[in-house]
Structure 1
Amino acid sequence: MVYEREGFQSMEELDAKVHAVTAEFDATADLLKNTEAQLRETKAMKQHILNYRRTREVYAAYKKSKNPEAFYEEHRADLAMHLAAKKYFDESGLKALPKVKDLTSRIQELMTEQKKQYQKYRETRSEMQNWQAVKQNLDSALGRAEKEKHRGLDR
């Protein structure tokens, strides 16, 4: 049969191979998405910490000001960043802020992981596409062979 040229004893073996390669691709894609989400979250946390530190003195001055409305209008951008950072920390449930140095090293680790995962993602995607093409070609060839058999029987 046609599928034997590809090294399979049956179409079920080919189907199993395509299914296995597709499952591996899906797992790789999920892992990559998870790493990307962690990377985004870590970068966001680092940015909020930097914004919080940079605007802490402005916020303290705002709290002590005798005319908070005027002070707020004058320092609206800094206070908005500070309040956004505080809200982020409250929603994250953080008791103590992580060190920026630790976050920077974590970002580097995640970027290295992401690079490796992208490579594996591309390889598994290519392999999956190749096996799916083989299966589609064999399905097409077998479909034509079946149609020819039926035409021969009809005559």
Structure 2
Amino acid sequence: MSHVSKIEITINDIVCLKQACQRLGFEFRENQRSYIWYGRLVSPDRYPLPEGITQQDLGKCHHAIHIPNASYEIGVVQQGTKFLLLADFWDTSLKNAIGDGGGKLKQAYGAERTIQEARRRNYRVIEKKTASGIRLILTA
């Protein structure tokens, strides 16, 4: 069943989000004001809208994330100083690319935030790929 869901993560650094997209091979489309989704709300009683989002808000965004081979996109919606990520997981290509609940995208964003903060504090960062993702090693 098609519906728009919020990816449960707090995004407060748009630069790190852009870097996370690059890390995953996604295209961050700055200032794109709409994102592609199913186009109509389905079963709102079973799949309620994310808090702060109305039916009229669906498909509208401040930026978008395009994923190669996916039909739908992720909407990046600014709410104050934070950003909300909205996606229609009916598109299995999108769902597979970002992982269950957006897990791959969340991990990439977390890695970028960690790297940025570590470098700000003059730590050296070594990144190693593992079977389950990546491992960051920070040294002074």
Shorter-chain-normalised TM-score: which range? under 0.3
RCO higher in structure (CA 8 A, sep ≥6): 1
> Which of structures 1 and 2 has the bigger CA Rg?
1
More strand by share: 2
TM-score (norm 1): 0.24
More helix by share: 1
TM-score (norm 2): 0.26
